Amino acid sequence: MQVSSLNEVKIYSLSCGKSLPEWLSDRKKRALQKKDVDVRRRIELIQDFEMPTVCTTIKVSKDGQYILATVVTFEILSDDYSKIVFLHNDRYIEFHSQSGFYYKTRIPKFGRDFSYHYPSCDLYFVGASSEVYRLNLEQGRYLNPLQTDAAENNVCDINSVHGLFATGTIEGRVECWDPRTRNRVGLLDCALNSVTADSEINNLPTISALKFNGALTMAVGTSTGQVLLYDLRSDKPLLVKDHQYGLPIKSVHFQDSLDLILSADSRIIKMWNKNSGKIFTSLEPEHDLNDVCLYPNSGMLLTANETPKMGIYYIPVLGPAPRWCSFLDNLTEELEENPESTVYDDYKFVTKKDLENLGLTHLIGSPFLRAYMHGFFMDIRLYHKVKLMVNPFAYEEYRKDKIRQKIEETRAQRVQLKKLPKVNKELALKLIEEEEEKQKSTWKKKVKSLPSILTDDRFKVMFENPDFQVDEESEEFRLLNPLVSKISEKRKKKLRLLEQQELREKEEEEELEGKPSDAESSESSDDEKAWVEEVRKQRRLLQQEEKVKRQERLKEDQQTVLKPQFYEIKAGEEFRSFKDSATKQKLMNKTLEDRLKIEAKNGTLSVSDTTVGSKQLTFTLKRSEQQKKQQEAEKLHRQERKRLRRSAGHLKSRHKRGRSFH
């Protein structure tokens, strides 16, 4: 049993450690209790209180005799376990009686939560749909669904006093419906009200938990870790509590005797006063949470974790222990009267590597070392004595560490050394300077920071591959960046300073004093006149460079002797002048209307009217000389074959009498 305390409120964890099996004899149990302090302090409330798999929901029956846990969710319709409805993750709904499985049906969309309306015997299902499905258990059929304005619904609850039905949507709203008229009677924008001055919201808060208390109070949990307390007569929350973890609120419960609200996310359970909002106490389990359940009329707390093992916690301030474990009250009183020290307060935990450094590996297996997890516990006095004998120069190491810390503090006052990439160093330095300026600006706190190009994987090749090196001598770069000469000189100077500083820091590894780098004098940006003069200067330089290049090309052309070039024409083709290609190119540059007029004039295009009043265009394709020659040769070949063909009329047989051949 572990005990934790916050704000003088003690919480007893009754599920830590392994439980003793029932088949052990009393003699062995007594022997284990004498030998192991953990076994002596262990309290076994429920033998092997764990499920076959990880559960997301845990509840206790109204009579307090049964604890149930499932994967999605369920509802106990009776005081005991005789009537239960289960919602599965495959859209099936199962009804179980005391004897076991009773009936199974299915809803149209995947469900996430449901509630039972006792006056009308209706089950309300919400899930991946804008509709709220209603199943009447008295008639045994589905009723017309409720149509919400949301795309999907996450959670729902029904007020036990007046029967108001509420559902939480993914848009961060809560819609309230009257089951009698099946009309929406209220709408709360919890996403807008959950944003406070201290909260940092990166996405739209959705509703993840919902719970009524009495006739007028409702608590709402969001996916960003806020809990809002509402009075149904107002659309503004009475209190807004932030868990500060940014995790979705898993469960919300009310503790009426102390006016407390219990809200839980996957990491922590917070208990706070619903009137003042002051934190009463908090609990951080060893495993991530899925659901929390308050045992009826007691101070016991049950949790469903990300492991099959369930959690049991007892908080005496919240209420008495349940009847079946009433001995907890007397036990906690004895523990308060006789507090025990921690078992390993006077021991030092060491690993096997530590033992090798101390030269104590020969003590493994002896009473001086107690094996625990991946190492050993040893007496703290023995540890200090051996360490002093093995390392008598501990003071020198301590002095070197202090000197090293002093050097680091001195370096922090200098210009911080930046690791620049191998390619495009000046561009990287420019991006770093812009990022520092953004961080210094005041509006940076209110605007979401964008990822830097230096840390973005999509642009990492630009700073690794030399093919992406920026050519600062190109005409485009110099015209687009007229002030690049001055700015680049500043950055080159800064790069040299950074490289010199890096060399100095490598040399002064053990020096205490050091001269900080001189801060570069800040220069104001040039005005418009200086910018225009710089542009003109760059343009004159480019014109001069272009003039020099033209003169060099002219000299090369004068020195070059032109020689005639010959081209071979393929067999079967005849040479045509270059005028045909020029004419064809000129024709292709004309508009479609002009080309149609030219084609009509040449006779290759004919336009005619149809009977329905439309126009019909007929094109005659031009043939090349080779195609004309081939067509003429085929015509002559057909005429020659026609002259040489002999008639086959003499082969016809005369009609003879006789029976036919079959």
Based on the number of CB atoms within 10 Å of its own CB, is 469 exposed (0-12), middle (13-18) or buried (19 or more)?
Answer: middle
Angle among Cα 429, 431, 434 to the nearest 5 degrees reads 110
- Between CA 10 and CA 4 the distance in angstroms is 6
Residue 571 has pLDDT above 70, yes or no: no
Q: What are phi and psi of 153, to 5 degrees?
A: -125, 140
SS3 136: strand
CA distance 257 to 447: 44
Q: What is the pLDDT of residue 486?
A: 52
The confidence band for 310, taking pLDDT boundaries of 50, 70 and 90, is confident
List pLDDT tens digits, range 228-239.
Answer: 999 999 999 999
Query: How far is the C-alpha of 584 from the C-alpha of 594, rounded, in Å?
Result: 13
CATH 2.130.10.10 is held by the domain 45-106+190-337? yes
For the entire predicted model, the pTM comes to: 0.51
Give the integer Cα–Cα distance in Å for 369 and 275: 53
Question: What is the residue-wise DSSP string for 53-90?
Answer: S--SEEEE-TTS--EEEESSEEEE-SSSSSSEEEE-TT
If one counts every other C-beta atom within 10 angstroms of the C-beta of residue 301, the result is 25
Q: Is the distance from CB of 20 to CB of 44 less than 8 angstroms?
A: yes
Domain spans, the chain: 45-106+190-337, 347-390
Alpha helical stretches, state H, 215-261: none
Is the predicted pLDDT of residue 581 greater than 80, yes or no?
no
pLDDT tens, position by position, 142-194: 999 999 999 999 999 999 999 999 999 999 999 999 999 999 999 999 988 88
Answer whether 169's CB lies under 8 Å from 175's CB. yes
Q: Which residue has the tokens 């951080």?
A: 284
* Rg of the Cα atoms in the chain: 45
Q: How far apart are CA 27 and CA 650, in angstroms?
A: 128
How much is the pLDDT for 481? 63
Residue whose C-alpha is closest to residue 285's, from 316, 260, 247, 311: 311
CA distances from 275 to 231, 246, 259, 316 (A): 12, 24, 7, 22
Residue 538 CB neighbour total at 10 angstroms: 18
Least confident of 61-75, 140-154, 458-472, 523-537: 523-537
Distance between alpha carbon 90 and the CA centroid of its chain, in Å? 25
Distances (CA, A) of 427 to 449, 466, 472: 20, 13, 11
412 pLDDT more than 80? no
- Write out the two tokens for 141: 């059929």
| Three-class SS of 422-481 | CCCHHHHHHHHHHHHHHHHCHHHHCCCCCCCCCCCHHHHHHHCCHHHCCCCCCHHHHHHC
Residue 618: strand pairing partners = 606
- pLDDT tens for 268-283 read 999 999 998 898 888 8
Confidence of residue 515 (pLDDT cuts 50, 70, 90): very low
Mean pLDDT of 554-574: 68
- Residue 516 confidence (pLDDT) above 50: no
Residue 82: the pLDDT is: 92
Q: Is 130 exposed, middle or buried (0-12, 13-18, 19+ CB in 10 A)?
A: middle
The residue whose two tokens read 């307090």 is 64
> Residue 662's pLDDT is what?
46
Distances, alpha carbon 165 to alpha carbons 158, 160, 168, 318, 366, in Å? 5, 10, 10, 29, 67
User: Locate tokens 């160093």: which residue?
Assistant: 425
Residues 610-643: pLDDT tens digits? 766 677 777 777 667 788 888 888 988 888 888 8
Judged against a pLDDT cut of 50, whether residue 415 lies above it is answered with no
> Does pLDDT of 220 surpass 90?
yes
Q: How many other C-beta atoms are found inside a 10 Å radius of the C-beta of residue 348?
A: 17
Higher-scoring residue by pLDDT: 246, 450: 246
Q: What is the mean pLDDT of residues 541-554?
A: 82
Q: Which of 155, 157, 111 is CA-nearest to residue 250? A: 155
Average pLDDT over residues 212-226: 94
Q: Which pLDDT belongs to residue 286?
A: 80
C-alpha count within 13 angstroms, C-beta hemisphere, residue 349? 7
Query: CA dist 377 to 345, 359, 367, Å?
Result: 10, 16, 10
Predicted pLDDT of residue 342 = 44
